[in-house]
Structure 1
Amino acid sequence: MTSSQEATQAEDTAYFRRIKPIEMTEDVRTSYFVSTLHAQGAWQEDELHMAPISGLVAAELEAYQPRNDFITTRISFDILGKLHAGEVKVVTETVRPGRTIELIQSTVYAQGRAVLVGRTWKVIASDTSRVAELTDAPLPPVEEAEPWDGMTDRWPGGFIRSIQVRTFPDHAPGHGRAWITSDLDVIEDEPTSPFVRLIGLADTANGLAPLAEPTTGDVFFANVDLTIHFLREPVGEWLGLSIAANIGQTGGGITSAVLYDTDGVLGRSEQSQTVRITE
């Protein structure tokens, strides 16, 4: 466990704390944070869980040159190395500017190297209600789901202990339906929008209904990326997931999910896994 984690107190109310003023150089935004124990990962004690660090990146992307006439249609994350706990730097910049479409990128640095890249496509908002149609099945409301401790039974780490999960009776390995939320802010003393909060929970799909049982200790199935496609901007504090997991025969796996918020279908997520038998 790092010294930064050891210094974390139980009363922390966020996953990260800002430790330096924001730097703006031309069109580049640089922010500095330190993680709390709540952001701790499930595979190793000294690494970050992908969920809260993706929420942190979402917060930086949201804060960078905001435009009220745009909506986010996709956000993708590629893990470039170990997500070290402790101090991280996030550098955000425009990759492709435009009047109706733009691409923005955030790069996370830890221990002197880039460890995560997040990119978001934003497009001009318009009224498409005349042709709007949703074909994904609805998810029953969170009030009809039951509290579930299957995450804490399977997974260690500070992040897992920070979340609340509710599932339905048909929740099973490879096919799961759940609602998930957290009472913690992503950044201490800064408001967490529904966009940031729900992105900061989406990575849990990989561990909510796994085909392989992590408690046996003989299989490893970490995801190397996360991609979320949106139909609209998220609302509320609960993220719903209808999950389908698949593992191939040559070391690859895919976790897919239809995403929901309190207004209904929100979008879809995909995670590719590196699957390894360790014994």
Structure 2
Amino acid sequence: MQETTTPTQTQAYYRRLGGNVYESTIHAQGAWNDHEQHMAPVAGLMVRALEQFQPREGMRLTRFSFDILGLIPAGEFSLETSVLRPGRTIELLQTELVAGGRTSVRVTAWRMLTLDTTAVQALEDDPFPSLAESESWHGLNIWPGGFIASLEGRTVDGHRPGRGRAWLRTPHGMVDGEPTSPLVRLLGLVDSANGIAARVPPGAGSYMFPNVDLSVHVYREPAGEWLGLDSRVTFAGDGIGLTSSVLHDVNGPFGRSEQILTVRPIPHAK
């Protein structure tokens, strides 16, 4: 297994320009357009902003609901974080990514009190093949862009179009010269789920299927550097789709994600 590299100015996804202002690097480049950011590292950076905002002992972030309000331009932007609903045991936070005077992405997140409930602990999500049972995989290379190029992938039995079963990892830190927590590192990969088992190939196919949201529920604090994605992709017959994933780390399942898709013909396709 490859060791984590120390982020430098060219290895991280973002540079901090001061305060809450950031600049994306080539590693954050999107797959649909070369002048936009990929939602995956954007989500990771926004989770990082929430994680660092007025932290409270004995509480943790449990649910993230991202709305993608338009193209996320590459380059300079700011993150604005606030409390929407204060509370002693449960509170609702919000972060907005603002670029060029426009909000491109908005996320709300629940932060909740943690308690010792090991007496009733239970798990229903199915186990996922381990890293030792996986093999090197370069299937994501069908996608362009700097973010996809930054990933290391492994696949397991059962991987096929519409049914993704893969492990992903990145050697890159989120912000230049600053530490990256396991929560930020792994949630910064989750949006990749929509591309690991595409039902139609990008570029060569006649359809595009970007997601307009990302919803992540984290029922256990994740650990390590590898994200396991057990994903299913559904296309309805009316231009709407859904990518649903169970999220795993090296210790087992830790959460779930959903991405609603807009399925539409590529304009230049014949």
TM-score, normalised via structure 1 length: 0.91
Within a 5 Å distance, the mapping from 1:182-221 to structure 2 comes to 182-221=170-209
Normalized per residue, which structure has more strand?
Answer: 1
Q: Which residue of 1 aligns with 2:105?
A: 116
How far, CA to CA, are the matches of 1:233 and 1:104 in structure 2?
18
Classify the secondary structure of the residue corresponding to 2:209: strand
The number of residue pairs the alignment matches comes to: 260
Partner of residue 151 from structure 2, selected from 142, 159, 163: 163
How far off is 1:169 after superposition? 2.8
1:220-257 CA-partner distances (Å, limit 9, x unpaired): 10000000001121111111111111000111000000
How far off is 1:143 after superposition? 2.0
1:15-37 CA-partner distances (Å, limit 9, x unpaired): 000002x2xxxxxxxx0000000
**C-alpha contact (below 8 Å) 2:9/2:176 kept by paired residues:** no
Q: Which residue of 1 aligns with 2:11?
A: 13
**C-alpha contact (below 8 Å) 1:167/1:178 kept by paired residues:** yes
1:13-67 CA-partner distances (Å, limit 9, x unpaired): 10000002x2xxxxxxxx0000000000000000000001111101101110111
1:242 aligns with 2:219: no
1:269 aligns with 2:269: no
How far, CA to CA, are the matches of 1:220 and 1:116 in structure 2?
20
1:80-113 CA-partner distances (Å, limit 9, x unpaired): 1110000011000111111000011000011220
Q: Which residue of 1 aligns with 2:39?
A: 50
Letter in 1 for 2:114: A
Classify the secondary structure of the residue corresponding to 2:147: helix
Classify the secondary structure of the residue corresponding to 2:208: strand
How far, CA to CA, are the matches of 1:118 and 1:188 in structure 2?
23
Classify the secondary structure of the residue corresponding to 2:210: strand
How far off is 1:217 after superposition? 4.1
How far off is 1:122 after superposition? 1.1
**C-alpha contact (below 8 Å) 2:28/2:147 kept by paired residues:** yes
1:71 aligns with 2:60: yes
How far, CA to CA, are the matches of 1:73 and 1:56 in structure 2?
16
Letter in 2 for 1:197: R
**C-alpha contact (below 8 Å) 2:23/2:75 kept by paired residues:** yes
**C-alpha contact (below 8 Å) 2:217/2:255 kept by paired residues:** yes
Q: Which residue of 1 aligns with 2:216?
A: 228
Unpaired segments ≥5 residues, structure 1: 1-9, 23-30
Sequence identity percentage: 48
How far, CA to CA, are the matches of 2:205 and 2:213 in structure 1?
22
Q: Does 154-163 or 230-239 show the bigger shift?
A: 230-239
Query: How large is the Cα RMSD of the aligned pairs?
Result: 1.1
Within a 5 Å distance, the mapping from 1:65-144 to structure 2 comes to 65-144=54-133
